[in-house]
Structure 1
Amino acid sequence: MVFKASFLAVLLAATAPLVAEALGRREVNCEDRYYLNSDVNRALRGSLLINDTVGGFPRPFNGDRALLHKECAESELYEFPIVSRSTGYDGTFPPGPDRVVFAERGTYCGALTHTDDGFVACRERNF
């Protein structure tokens, strides 16, 4: 387990610049729950653990692809919780309704929130 945790730390440190560059700088508003660029990046980095599960995530995304960025239309998609905590989502607390959706190699495809009627796109502000 120690090896796995240390390997994970090295993997996340190595991929952080790549994720930040791919994601760009953005903030997300999911029905008046605001997430900073750091929250979005943290969720995206956590989502790179496709072969592991953290509280059942990441999981395949089976929602409406029309809500996502067009460049992700043909990709295999996954979802991972986005939260406003310095540690990100680690499976030790309920994930809440908000998700980042990404393609298999960590390509950011959008942010969505669960509602009673299914997924709704979150508003993004790029800067």
Structure 2
Amino acid sequence: MMFAATLLSLAAAASAVVLPRAWPSGDVTCGSNVYSLADVKAAVQNGVDHLDDPIGDNSYPHKYNNYEGLDLYCSGESDYNEFPILPSGLYDGGSPDTDRVVFSDNGVYCAVVTHTGASGNNFVSCEGD
């Protein structure tokens, strides 16, 4: 009986824990650009590294408002940033191109999004995200 009560209390505690978003399980495709998990992680880390020192004409990373209502799978997070992810390597302040990683203020990965295939200056989710 005591064992069952312990299991129930552990299960209740575990269900209250908010887990961060899992990284993509494989490649992420944004239009014709394909990014590996290592590319996504590197772009997020690059963005986190620049949170206090934004770069480029558009000051990346900057706030991501999610006006499109895309699914962002970073439970419990509320403040989002966008930062360029490039097929040619890490963003260094030049042209941001069309693709972005989205992450929370504390560096939790949320999504990969792109302007490719979206209307105007909107974003759509990338495949495999």
User: Normalized against structure 2, the TM-score is what?
Assistant: 0.68
TM superposition shift of 1:124: 1.5
- Which residue number in structure 2 is paired with residue 120 of structure 1? 124
Q: Which has the larger radius of gyration?
A: 2
Identical positions, percent: 34
- Which residue number in structure 1 is paired with residue 8 of structure 2? none
Following TM superposition, where does structure 1 have runs of at least 4 consecutive aligned residues deviating by more than 6 angstroms? none
Q: Tell me the alpha carbon deviations over residues 64-117 of structure 1, each in whole angstroms, 9 at most, x when there is no partner.
A: 36313343465100000001234x0011x3110100001111111001111334
Residue 124 of structure 2: SS of its match in structure 1? Answer: strand
Residue 86 of structure 2 corresponds to residue 83 of structure 1: yes
Structure with bigger strand share is 1
Counterparts of residues 1-127 of structure 1 (less than 5 Å): 23=23, 25-48=25-48, 49-55=50-56, 56-64=59-67, 66-72=69-75, 74-86=77-89, 88-91=90-93, 93-114=94-115, 115-117=118-120, 118-124=122-128
Superposed CA RMSD: 2.1
TM superposition shift of 1:123: 1.0
Count of aligned pairs between the two proteins: 102
